[in-house]
Structure 1
Amino acid sequence: MTHTLSVLLCLGLCLGQRMRAEADTIPRPSLRAENGSLVPLGRSVILRCQGGWEGEVYRLEKKLSSDRIIDVKSNETEVEFPMPSVTAKDAGTYYCRYLHSSGWSECSDPLELVVTGEESPHPG
């Protein structure tokens, strides 16, 4: 009887720790470009970041750049990052992540935003 009780107690503790560890794991978000990531110059695009839990703040980051970091406060599982008129400067690799009560999520898989066409020269 004592052996059975010890085994059940150990099993309960191990299962409880595993369930707590799984609950603390923050799901990795996904990032996509509405209507595709190939965007003509001057057109708009909406990047959507979807998390597995309700986030508090969602962040869009551009690889190797500090000029394209946008934070959006939201308690939804998906947020939009609109880009109303893309330029060649907007092309690049983007990631998103979100903040939850357990901390920041991992980064999403990269999204390569490609801007097609040429910028017209400014009259000078």
Structure 2
Amino acid sequence: MTTEFLSLLCLGLCLGYEGDKENEKPSKPSLHAWPSLVAEAESNVTLKCRAPSQNVTFTLRKVNDSAYQRKQSSAGNEAEFPFTDLKPEDAGRYFCAYKTAVSHEWSEGSEPLQLVVTDKHDELEAPSMKTVAHVCNPRTVGR
């Protein structure tokens, strides 16, 4: 009788523990930019969201722009959100979240990532090759 009771108690506790796990909020994903957070206008950047779980649906959102949302399902634990031909309006703070098929609940958002889009004309001009060749040529030193 005592053995049966302990077996049922253990089974109940184990099943109760698993049930609590299903109700847990999914942990926070991470968000990274490739190749860089700072990119020239008309170039390409990919934001990569990574979750600790497999088979999830990801969403990419823009801070202070409730209309912006991109979704993507993945059999793995990562989704890529490519930005091609970047425009100044693509700059801003982004975050991602995910949900699993089991939980149906969105995770907490990732830490926001600041994407900076620079204008090609903002860069410092490099010295011309002619100037560099003149300065480095030993025959022209002292002239």
Q: TM (normalized to structure 1)? A: 0.75
> Which of residues 110, 113, 120 in structure 2 aligns to 1:111?
113
> 1:122 matched to which residue of 2?
none
State the 1:56 CA deviation. Answer: 3.0
Q: C-alpha root-mean-square deviation of aligned residues, in Å?
A: 2.7
Aligned residues: 119
State the 1:27 CA deviation. Answer: 2.1
Tell me which protein shows more helix as a share of its residues: 2
Divergent runs of 4+, >4 A: 9-20
Tell me the distance in 2 between the aligned counterparts of 1:23 and 1:11.
19
Cα 1:44–1:83 change in 2 (3 A) is same
Q: Which has the higher contact order (CA 8 A, sep 6+)?
A: 1
- Structure 1 gap segments, 5+ residues each: 120-124
- Structure 2 gap segments, 5+ residues each: 122-143
* Larger CA Rg, structure 1 vs 2: 2
Q: TM (normalized to structure 2)? A: 0.67
Q: Which amino acid aligns with 1:80?
A: E
> 1:85 matched to which residue of 2?
85
State the 1:58 CA deviation. Answer: 0.8
User: Which aligned pairs between 1:1-124 and structure 2 lie closer than 5 A?
Assistant: 17=16, 20-22=19-21, 24-25=23-24, 26-101=26-101, 102-103=103-104, 104-117=106-119
Cα 1:109–1:35 change in 2 (3 A) is same
